[in-house]
A and B are shown apart, each in its own frame.
Chain A
Amino acid sequence: MKPPAFGYAAPHSVEEALAVLADLGYDGKVLAGGQSLIPLLSMRLTAPHTLVDINRITGLADISVAADGSVVVGALVRHAELLADESAFQALPLLRRATSNVAHPAIRNRGTTCGSVAHADPSGEMTAILAITGGSVQIAAAGAPIKDVPVADFFLGPLESCLGSAELAVSVTFGAPAPRSGSAFLELSRRRGDYAMCGVAVTVRIDENGTVTDVRASYLSVGPVPEVHDLTAAVEGQAATSADWRAAGELATTLVEPESDLHASADYRRRLVAVLTERALPRAAADAVAGSEAAA
């Protein structure tokens, strides 16, 4: 199908975009990579009055690593650019581990990381990564200083964020990994690159003796918004090389509340939570051990 008719604005600066958005109010919708929005338009699931295309704005396509090790990704950074960025990978390896699972190369060439977050799809990889890294979204509006909104306040529900109609997410910041921590990302889909039936991002933190001190997981396609679950209780004090990861996976099944849809039943998703958690955690633990040995 074809998209419905809409007005089109293509501002050349953030200030111009904010003025246009403020003027349009609820009639405006930001177009960045369009890899989620354009299918929604073509399927007539949304019909904004005017699209505000931000692709002509310069200065929004930067990736930078802040002094504290967090990674700031501008609104026009494409997934493929984040995937290839060596400094971002060194600072936060989980970014590349997750981004390589975002759709297919042709989609990653056009779709933006910031747009994925703003789209607030609970089956999106980057929403889960933003959650587990304790990241934030930087939001601009006309005549106001840029707000830094923590991830916990950003996602309100499926495809719903706190972004106001006159606001523009100018960047997202993924939080720095804790010292002596490791990460892993796994997802399962019917076909590589499709929406995951379930996916998990995990972090494991160890102390100087190689003992597990903190275990966290965030899931895709499991709840209405990306949540971070603390699985530490199942394995706390155990050696990172031999912890009872299965118990952590079972604990996770008691914390999530998946729903059934066309692709998988709630029960099946719950089993995937257990299995993917059990598989991902030893990888993250090995990553933590390798990282702390390299640092020693």
Chain B
Amino acid sequence: MTEEQFTVSLSVNGTTRPVTVPARRLLSDAIRHDLELTGTHVGCEHGVCGACTVLLDGVAVRSCLMFAVQAEGQQITTVEGLAGPDGRPHPVQQAFRECHGLQCGFCTPGFLTTIAAALEDYQPNEEISADEAREIVGGNLCRCTGYQNIVKAVGRAQEIRAERAGVVPDPAAAQDGL
């Protein structure tokens, strides 16, 4: 039996390309094998580890828990799409480097996309507490770092966002009503 094939236009990191896939092709596999964007990693392949997390219209989702045929018409951002057009690292990428937020790097793409999406829920002048940082990365597994430096990198990424936006986070400012 030959499987029915579907031609789907996948918009990944601002580029739209057609792929022809069976309905069962996981979005993670379409990204890695059909589009050859191997930055997205596949760990458990059933939604537990978070390594395959990508952004779907800016929202973090597991690419192993979606089919490629479902992604038509939506904007996908993978880890390759986080850096600016000039190649400048995304704040979370710079923070991971500064804070030593990775060791082997297998889980890193999932952490970077997850945190990049979460940062958008905060204004650049807001601080992210360690508890909030832990909640943000709670769905991603890392077997190397022990998470301490990843949690630090979340806070540092937010600082870098503030620095780039020209604002300095100042928790006293909100209290003073300034």
Chain A interfacial positions (CB closer than 8 Å to B): 1-8, 10, 34-35, 38-39, 41-43, 51, 53, 55, 80, 103-107, 109-110, 191-193
Q: Interface readout for B35-66 with A: 1 if CB under 8 Å, 0 if not?
A: 00000000001110010010010011110111
**Interface membership of B128, Cβ < 8 A:** no
Residues of B contacting A8 in the complex (Cβ-Cβ under 8 angstroms): 4, 6, 23, 67, 69
Chain B interfacial positions (CB closer than 8 Å to A): 1, 3-4, 6, 22-24, 26, 29, 45-47, 50, 53, 56, 59-62, 64-67, 69-70, 114, 118, 135-136, 138-139
- Contact B69 A10, beta carbon cutoff 8 Å: yes
User: Nearest B residue to A106 by beta-carbon distance?
Assistant: B60
- Contact B24 A35, beta carbon cutoff 8 Å: no
Residues of A contacting B65 in the complex (Cβ-Cβ under 8 angstroms): 34-35, 38-39, 107, 110
Docked Cα-Cα span, A262 to B155, in Å, equals 37
B163 CB, nearest partner CB in chain A, Å: 26
- Can you spell out 18 A-B residue pairs with CB atoms less than 8 angstroms apart? A2-B29, A3-B24, A5-B3, A5-B22, A5-B24, A6-B23, A10-B69, A34-B65, A38-B47, A38-B64, A38-B65, A39-B65, A103-B139, A104-B139, A106-B60, A106-B114, A107-B139, A109-B60
- Contact A38 B66, beta carbon cutoff 8 Å: yes
Residues of A contacting B138 in the complex (Cβ-Cβ under 8 angstroms): 104-105, 191-193
**Chain A interface SS verdict (over half):** loop
**A42-B26, A110-B66 provided; 11 other pairs, C-beta below 8 A?**
A5-B22, A5-B24, A8-B4, A34-B70, A39-B46, A53-B69, A103-B139, A104-B50, A105-B114, A106-B50, A107-B47
Total cross-chain contacts (CB, 8 A)? 89
B43 CB, nearest partner CB in chain A, Å: 13
- Contact A106 B62, beta carbon cutoff 8 Å: yes
